[in-house]
Structure 1
Amino acid sequence: MLERLQRVLGLQTIPGVFFTSAGIALLFVILAIPFDQEVAGAFAVLTGWVAHHLGWFYIFSVSSLLVFLLWLAVSRYGSIRLGSDDARPDYSTLTWFTMLFAAGIGTILMFWGVAEPVSHFVKPPFNDVEPGSEQAASDAMTIALYHFGLHTWTIFAMPGLAIAYFSYRHQLPMRISSLFYPILGKRTYGPIGWTVDVIAVLGTLFGVATSLGLGALQLNSGLSYLFGVPTTGWVQVVLIAVITSIAAVSVAFGLDKGVRRLSQINIGLAILLLLTVFVVGPSVFIANGMVESVGSYISALPWLAFWTDTFKASDWQRQWTLFYWAWTITWAPYVGIFIARISRGRTIREFITGVLFAPTAFTLVWFGIFGLSAISVEMDGQIALAEHVQQDPSVAIFAFLEAFPLTQLASLLSVIIIIVFFTTSSDSASLVIDMLTRREDQPSLVRQRIFWAAAQGVIAATMLLAGGLEALQNVITALGLPFCLLLMFMAVSLYRALKADSLGYSVNELVQGRAFDKVNATAGTQQEPKNVQ
């Protein structure tokens, strides 16, 4: 029946993945619009249960994956190339980095670059820290860097590395289900594999929709500041519709013409805004604070990475760390595949080093300039920044810019940057979802990519109308759990394949058991790898 429906609609898909994913998304929208309060309440209850019973699992999983990736980078597996042994990167390092950033967390940095440090500065998560103190300022920067540094990019790097390895090294389809081929074998191409891909599609849809929702909140605040546009749910829905339309046009051009060019333009605009704030802001204070913040982040990372707030009965972890990890995890299939698409030819060591440390370094600079400047503004009492942030975090960056010259121009530039980040997130996600829902031998149809771009916008609008920021947080914290489990299995699957690869065995031999048996038999011995055709 699904294949007949596909022929009638003129689509090129894996029917079980495409129609199941689209059907579940449609069902959510149909239920959430008339029963918005009930749906929001149900996700609030589910999120509370997940946070109370499985919050520790989120914390442990992400930190364990970071340790695993760092070990891979320095191990003998680090020299394995993502492709044939003579393959070379498709993109220059600079272009690769700009695409990583724009499709990764550009929108997130714009939203939280000011809001998070100020929030922790005036309301520290630690009992023995006085709000507004020097220690509160230091802790605020450390926590912000923890949330947006190595851990965030670990969540993106894990699926990205696994996808690139299995696709370019073993010619498996570029889908999440392929990562489990060493475990599932031929069942990867059946209902079990389709279920994995459906989870990945839904995670991507809701994860990107959450970002679009946050972007709409922030755009509404910016337009309200600049032009007096009212701040309402329906204005935000209109903004989502407009930006989704722009993303649909971009996605029609594909990866090279659409996403790459927008990414390069936007990284330039973001750096311009960054340098402007640094030059007109408290430059010496920022420089001193950035150096100190890096040291504080590095020294606090070992204990902070496994901190679960055990001895304090508060909701802080659910509202901040668990939300971030779950949100990033739902993005992981999309960003992972996108990173894999642009990373062919690099070694595993190059991939891990680049994906973990280059964006983290930029994040350190971003929060160093925006976060420290915002804390300085709050400490000097120039404007009631903390009051704005606590009332509505989406207005944070625009309230912050009031403390500097050329406020209107800087705010307008911020709005443009948010729009382009909004667009690159949506169009690159649409490209990835299209890949997840069709076979590699099927053409990528423009109308399918546009459909997924529209679906993200509709889900974002629905969640906003169902409860705004709190609804976005609750839905994502609950939905991130299934893919968190997949990430852990993904690491096991990758390790098994790398172990066999280092001895020259193919992934098919690994599935059949022959390679893994020989890997175990030769563990600790020196053996020349055989050539596998």
Structure 2
Amino acid sequence: MNETRERNGSRSHPVEADLPGSPAVSARPRTDPVVFGVAAALTLAFVVWGVVATDTLESVSRKLLDGTIRNGGWAFVLAASGFVVFALWLAMSKYGRITLGKEGEQPEFRTVSWIAMMFSAGMGIGLMFYGVSEPLSHFITPPPGTDPADANEAMETAMATTLFHWTLHPWAMYAVVGLAIAYSTFRRGRRQLISAVFTPLIGERRANGWGGRVIDILAIFATLFGSAASLGLGALQIGSGFTGLGWLGSVGTGLLVAVIAVLTVAFVASAVSGIAKGIQWLSNINMVLAVTLAAFVFLVGPTIFILDLLPTSIGAFLGDLIRMAGRTEASSGEGVADWLAGWTVFYWAWWISWTPFVGMFIARISRGRTIRQFVGGVILAPSTVSLLWFAIFGGSAMHLQDEKRLSDASTAQGQLFDVLQQYPIATVTSIVVMILVGIFFVSGADAASIVMGTLSQRGSLEPSRGVVVFWGVLTGAVAAIMLLIGGGKGDALTGLQNLTILAAAPFTLVMIGLCIALTRDLRQDPLIIRGRKGKEAIETAVIAGHEKYDGDFELRIGPCTSTDGTEGAQSEQPAHPTEATEATSSSTR
């Protein structure tokens, strides 16, 4: 862009002189021995602990979880809503005009492709696992403090609670981290590291020193455990698919570990193949399959009921939003703490643990968009897709449950297959679900392993294969340990949830600091400074005009005059369209 302007004989936009642009990245990635070494050593110690003393690790994690929920559950709840307010405020404020890149730079990807890629990386596997199970669970057992009078009201409560967990709040968390990284990298020219975002808050020296390394280590831990939880969910659902199709009589720990091993090999292979061949290719496949599956269920299922459920769900969600956002252990209703640990707090922790790699991935594909476009696209578009997904699958499940056509003995991971069994070609659709779960996980986990490699190698956009493979294998090992802690069968989901909450708790503080650092950066953005200086200059000129000419004056824009009386050509600006040749009345123009 600058080269084009130079060829045309025009000067760069004033903001560009103060913005270094994208950072120069070394062709050969260099591993940070502190970040990689500490994170790797602690993770390996966790794996060894889980193998040698599973019961002890389970006991310790449960005690830590109880303390975290009872003493810090409020922090998760408050922080999650705070991120929503912060993201929406940025979009609606004067900062919304700022471009994530050079001024006037165009987006790198088309809007449709941009939305598809970030949605696939953001929560694809979660929608497959919870698309049926969460609305159905809340329909059968309403959240504490709610008392639906009939089935229709119970459905409204179930959909409102589900949308609360899957729309504004998670995507606002992704938007905050992704926006901070994109602004820091493409606007300020820093390395693509979460620690680099903290430069205006702790200084460049600390951001590149021990302070920044601690932040990047916490980001690796959050990413690792969040990805491992997703891998565990995928293994549970694929295993349930085997039993639902009658291929296996039961699912044991051995089968789950084998599924994890296969998925780990798949996403490691995808990760080392590169984004163009791996993530983009898989994203295209799973989006087509997901849309096809959703359209099939919509057409063969209760179509009119689903259409009626859409506006009802939106109204119920907006009506109950404040109450749901303020639900803590102090809320009325028995068992609120346990319910929060299994649902809201777990979700907030899970989304927070995904923010480092989803945020970095969204940042990489969002160059050239304004902050307003970024926030609007990241929050509203995926939230709309989530609404449609849960209305189709959750609505179909609740409709079947209301007609007493579903088994009460089904597990959370098996409920989607139970729903599909009620419709034609159940075997085919069940196989499609297992393929989708595997591909959704692979497309997300390979991004996670690349991001962990980036964090380990000083922000390199293409980390070395060895580091990527190392983190990929460790992710699979941690997922296996998390399932073992939960018992491998009935309590496996609990084990995944418990450790995800514990791993995400420290990174919540990092996200709060990130918001403060981003705000400081934006206040000093050249576009904002230029606007502020312009308002000050106009205000000063108007005051001077009133004082000197008693209101009979006009404002002109033209070449400035230097102290020796010559015109300063370098300061020449185009005349304002309303410029007049002389003052003609006692008015201020």
Match of 1:337 in 2: 360
- 1:290 is displaced (CA, Å) by 1.1
Shift of 1:383: 2.4
AA partner of residue 161 (structure 2): I
Equivalent residue in structure 1 for 2:521, among 481, 497, 504 = 497
1:44-86 per-residue CA deviation (whole Å, 9 max, x = no partner) reads: 1111111111111111111011011111111110010000012
Q: Is residue 11–residue 448 contact of structure 1 (8 Å, CA) maintained in 2?
A: no
The one of 420, 435, 449 aligned to 1:430:
449
Partner of 1:321: 344
Q: Name the amino acid aligned to 2:156.
A: S
Once the two structures are TM-superposed, the CA of residue 32 in structure 1 deviates from its matched residue by 0.9
Q: Given the alignment, which residue of 242, 254, 273 partners 2:262? A: 242
User: Given the superposition, is the C-alpha separation of residues 267 and 191 from structure 1 closer, same or farther in structure 2, using an over 3 Å criterion?
Assistant: same
Residue 12 of structure 1: how far off its partner (Å): 3.2
Residue-pair matches, total: 503
Q: Are 1:233 and 2:261 matched, yes or no?
A: no
Which one of 493, 496, 518 corresponds to residue 469 of structure 1? 493
Counterpart of 2:153, as a letter, is Q
For 1:363 and 1:417, locate their aligned partners in 2 and report how far apart those are by CA, in whole Å: 16
User: In the TM superposition, what is the alpha-carbon distance from 1:192 to its structure 2 partner?
Assistant: 1.0
**Cα separation, partners in 2 of 1:393 and 1:75, compared to 1, 3 Å:** same
1:195 corresponds in structure 2 to 214
List alignment gaps of at least 5 residues for structure 1.
1-9, 507-517
Deviation at 1:448, TM superposition (A): 1.6
Q: Does 1:133 align with 2:121?
A: no
Q: 2 CA distance for matches of 1:404 and 1:38? A: 45
After TM superposition, the score normalised by the length of structure 2 is 0.82
Secondary structure of the residue aligned to 2:524 is: helix
- Are the structure 2 counterparts of residues 54 and 505 from structure 1 closer, same or farther at C-alpha, using a change threshold of 3 Å? same
Structure with the higher helix share, 1 or 2: 1
Q: Greater CA radius of gyration, 1 or 2? A: 2
Give the aligned partner of residue 288 of structure 2. Answer: 268
Q: Residue 180 in 1 paired to residue 198 in 2?
A: yes
Paired position in structure 2 for 1:509: none
Deviations 1:299-341 (A, max 9, x none): 2223322222523341211111001101111111111111111
Secondary structure of 1:105's aligned partner: helix
Q: 2:409 aligns with which of 377, 387, 393?
A: 387
The one-letter amino acid of 1:361's match is T
Q: Distance in 2 between matches of 1:321 and 1:526?
A: 50
1:128-527 equivalence runs, <5 A:
129-130=147-148, 133-185=151-203, 186-229=205-248, 230-310=250-330, 311-314=332-335, 315-384=338-407, 386-388=408-410, 392-440=411-459, 444-467=463-486, 468-501=492-525
Distance in 2 (alpha carbons) for counterparts of 1:452 and 1:434? 7
Look up the match of 1:4.
none
Separation in 2, partners of 1:40, 1:131: 40
Which residue of the partner structure matches residue 44 of structure 1?
Answer: 62
Deviations 1:209-240 (A, max 9, x none): 00000110001101222252340111111111
Structure 1 residues 15 and 527: CA distance shift in structure 2, 3 A: farther
Report the AA paired with residue 409 of structure 2: E
Deviation of 1:488 after TM superposition, in Å, equals 1.0
Give the 3-state SS of the residue equivalent to 1:403 in structure 2: coil
Q: CA deviation at 1:387?
A: 3.2
CA distance in 1, matches of 2:462, 2:498: 36
Inter-partner Cα distance in structure 2 for 1:273 and 1:198: 39
Give the match for residue 94 of structure 1: 112
Contact 2:193 2:459 in 1 (8 A): no
Q: Is residue 13–residue 442 contact of structure 1 (8 Å, CA) maintained in 2?
A: no
Alpha-carbon distance between aligned partners in 2 of 1:147 and 1:345, rounded to the nearest angstrom: 30
Paired letter, 1:469 = L
The residue that corresponds to 1:107 in the other structure is 125
Higher mean C-alpha displacement, 218-227 vs 369-378: 218-227
**TM-score of the superposition, structure 1-length normalised?**
0.91
Counterparts of 1:6-25 in structure 2 under 5 Å?
12-25=30-43
Measure, in 2, the Cα distance between the counterparts of 1:91 and 1:320: 35
Higher RCO, 1 vs 2 (CA within 8 Å, ≥6 residues apart) = 1
Q: Which residue of 1 aligns with 2:564?
A: none
Q: Distance in 1 between matches of 2:153 and 2:432?
A: 33
Change (3 A) 1:523 1:155: farther
Output the CA distance in 2 between the equivalents of 1:82 and 1:141: 35
Q: Could you tell me how far 1:524 is from its partner in structure 2?
A: 9.3
1:155 touches 1:332 (CA, 8 Å); kept in 2?
yes
Q: CA deviation at 1:140?
A: 0.4
Q: Distance in 1 between matches of 2:285 and 2:233?
A: 22
Q: Percent of counterpart pairs with the same letter?
A: 37
1:173 partner SS: coil
Residues 256-281 of structure 1 deviation map (CA, whole Å, 9 limit, x = unaligned): 22101100110110000000000000
Contact 2:129 2:413 in 1 (8 A): yes
Q: Which moved more, 1:160-169 or 1:296-305?
A: 296-305
8 A contact 2:279–2:443 mirrored in 1? yes
State whether residues 95 and 528 of structure 2, in contact with CA within 8 Å, keep that contact through their aligned partners in structure 1.
no
What amino acid sits opposite 1:189 in the alignment?
Answer: N
